[in-house]
A and B are shown apart, each in its own frame.
Chain A
Amino acid sequence: MRQFFSFVIKETKHILRDRRTMLILFGMPVVLMTLFGFAITNDVRNVRTVVVTSQIDHLTRQAVDRLAVSEYFVITATVPTPREAERMIRNQQADLAIVFANDFASKKSGLQFIVDAADPNMSQQWTNYATQVITNPSSSVVNVRMLYNPGMKSAYNFVPAIMGMLLMLICAMMTSISIVREKEKGTMEMLLVSPVKPLVIIIAKVVPYMMLAIVILVTILLMARFVLDVPLAGSLVWIVVVSVIYIVLALSLGLLISNIATSQLMALLLSAMVLLMPIVMLSGMLFPIESMPTVLQWVSAVIPPRYYIAAMRKLMIMGVGIDGVLREVAILTGMTALLLVVALAKFKNRLE
């Protein structure tokens, strides 16, 4: 036990004395959260809108006013013909044109959107928003209610995603690098020659990084709650429990990488490239899994962050109980157990 603690202390000192790495480790979550929260956003805001109408009647006036007062749209011009509106979009003076038919007031229909669809997702959203705003709620046929995220804030969506990405990156990358560094420096030889059991070496290596990951988790959660106003609707205990399972999984992956990698650079590339790309592309973080081709859906099925992000969205945003995410948690636990066993079994007692 004494050996174990002195190991953990030594490892902690390595982490604490490497100031620059520490700065990056703690800076990354803060910067990412701030960026996604304030700068990079999918939210509809200040869309430059052209209104096309030949005669302004009462109902059209009302609709235009509703658009103008909403924070989503800014009316930049009113033009008589659709052709002119299209010209403005082509000249990049506007993003969206709303064409009211001449008999809009009497028929309560006859609406056309001309949209700059260079970004298909955003254009989809603009039209949805515009429809929502223009259609008089009282007379609308369809009544849309947004559950869980009535303000449609993208922070609700990306906070779980960032957690999934960062925890995986930090745990897998840092563990693998710290083990490979010992191999490179030759200190691993000394550790192996000592009577300490390899299992103790591994666990002691991993514990400090687990602590670090938990500190980062708390940082993210605090920032999400108090800076980005994301509600932590579900039980905090379960959020943490599921996160810890995920952290252990990421650490096991790091151990596996350290078995394969022979240099720190290789460990870095393996964990950054091989882990990061699939996480970002296929975990449902950015692109919905449901709209992927079937083959990619299969691939995404084995990517652990997918389940973690899904579980976190449900727990944090929807506020469901643990019974609502049992499937995700079960899959994560299974994956963790498998990876951990393989990583421990593969850890070498000797040199090659």
Chain B
Amino acid sequence: MNAIEVNGVGKNYGKVQALSDVTFAVRQGEVFGLIGPDGAGKTSMFRILCTLLKPDSGTASVLGHDVVSQYKAVRRKVGYMPGRFSLYDDLTVRENLEFFATLFGTTVGQGYDFIKAIYSQIERFDNRKAGALSGGMKQKLALSCALVHQPEVLFLDEPTTGVDPVSRKELWEMLGSLKERGITIVAATPYLDEVRRCERVAFLDHGQVQGIDTPEAILERFAHVFNPPPVSHEQGGALAGDNVIEVEHLVKAFGTFHAVDDISFTVRRGEIFGFLGANGAGKTTAMRILTGLSQPTSGRGKVAGFDVGTEYEQIKRHIGYMSQRFSLYEDLTIAENIRLFAGIYGVPADVIERKTDDLLARLQFADHKHDLVGSLPLGWKQKLAFSVSIFHDPGVVFLDEPTGGVDPATRRQFWELIYEAAERGITVFVTTHYMDEAEYCDRISIMVDGKISAMGSPQELKRQYGMPDIDHVFTYLARQAARSSD
């Protein structure tokens, strides 16, 4: 018996074709993955199945109800978790849950047993505003809200973007227990370990189904997308003794809470340094101090030769910075963005002109010089944002989760750019939730509870902890965290 049947569904937004002739079926009680690069049409597919969008052609049914004509019946039986956690930030955890329970005509009491496994983890924060929760907590609350009415089918649209590996594993363990109750689950994810947890996956690209099979078969068949050959990188370019970042006993306290609790490390010139940690471990706070945005409570730090406590204006001038949240102005063209940011850093106009053409030629963007950034795919934007952040040849570039939400092939291309920059002598300081990327770094540190609990090259750490890969090392260390991840 099929819980979901999709037949020849197509959907256009104006001239853009989001889905074309998509056909697949999901069995009752199955965990089904919907995977594909950014812009492949996954979100449109979810919205059609949740009755939020009308397909332009074809039919789709959920639990035997047509999503167009019988949308009311569908809405009663499905749970949906959109990519952005749709919670009310100004309501407390409890209020959010109660509101969504009533919305679906049930009460928290009735649904409690059903969500207990998840909800019990956040129950002690009942009276905290949802806006004050960490990513992992929000995710659990959003899932509780989507499940409280005991749906028969659960749709999850990239539920783990921006969530650390430990929280991700916990989420999938919960999904496993939901499956035992016979709930059909359709999930989209950019993470390969999550893809492997599905029973079957459909690979969607350019709005079309490229293949439906077991995860292994799909990953095998489309290895060029999901499992690109690892980037080769000559190590040892880093010069010993020439430190770009030096940090000694750095502390940042908010009241009695020590977000960063006495960390010390050095990063050498030309090194690629991976700065890992679970949500709430203190990564962002430490990074803010290093980029001159925040003052340390105590301790010393030097970035590109300038003191973080006193010479932060100098630091800002000599570093590059790229974050996942803010990259470029979407309503400016590529050339305009480059000119703007290079101008901010005081690059002379003729140099900008010359380097812009070089850069676009190298990225193979030359034809798109005058395209609006908003019209580019996410992977392009990220590459461009990175190139812009090192346009003024900074001594060190800080990358805050630069590759969130894109497929492995695109991430690999991104890392080629990082290696290029490192070879030119630019030090790269990067945070990421992708553990395969951690393996690409020269050295990594893993932060737990505001302290650095492990540091060294990926090989050293794996040997030291006797684990097969960094993912295991990270999980092992992060699970020892005493402080709740919020």
- Interface residues, chain A, with chain B CB atoms under 8 Å away: 2-3, 6-7, 10, 13-14, 17-18, 185-187, 189-196, 349-351
Contact = CB atoms under 8 A, between A and B. Distances in A.
A10 B99 contact: yes
Contacts of A194: 75, 100, 103-104
A195 B76 contact: yes
B100 A190 contact: yes
Nearest to B102: A6
A288 to B, nearest CB: 44
Contact of B53 (A3, A17, A190, A350): A350
Nearest to A5: B102
Given A13-B90, A18-B90, A187-B88, 18 more contacts: A3-B103, A6-B98, A6-B99, A186-B83, A186-B84, A190-B146, A191-B103, A192-B52, A192-B75, A193-B50, A193-B75, A193-B78, A193-B80, A194-B100, A195-B72, A195-B75, A195-B105, A351-B53
Interface of B: 47, 50-54, 71-72, 75-76, 78, 80, 82-91, 95, 98-100, 102-105, 145-146
Contacts of B98: 6
Contacts, number: 77
Contacts of A10: 88, 91, 95, 99
Contacts of B146: 190
A190 B91 CA distance: 16
A3 B82 contact: no
Given A3-B103, A3-B105, A17 B90 contact: yes
A191 B103 CA distance: 8
B103 A6 contact: yes
A193 B50 CA distance: 6
10 contacts: A7-B99, A13-B91, A14-B91, A185-B89, A187-B86, A189-B50, A189-B82, A192-B52, A193-B75, A195-B105
A246 B99 CA distance: 31
Contacts of B53: 350-351
Nearest to B146: A190
Given A192-B52, A194-B75, A350-B53, A14 B90 contact: yes
Contacts of A3: 102-103, 105
A309 to B, nearest CB: 35
A3 B99 CA distance: 8
A350 B90 contact: no
A190 B98 CA distance: 14
Given A10-B95, A350-B52, A190 B90 contact: no
A192 to B, nearest CB: 6
A195 B82 contact: no
Candidate in B90, B102, B146 with the most chain A CB atoms within 10 angstroms? B102
B80 A195 contact: no
B476 to A, nearest CB: 35
Contacts of A185: 84, 86, 88-89
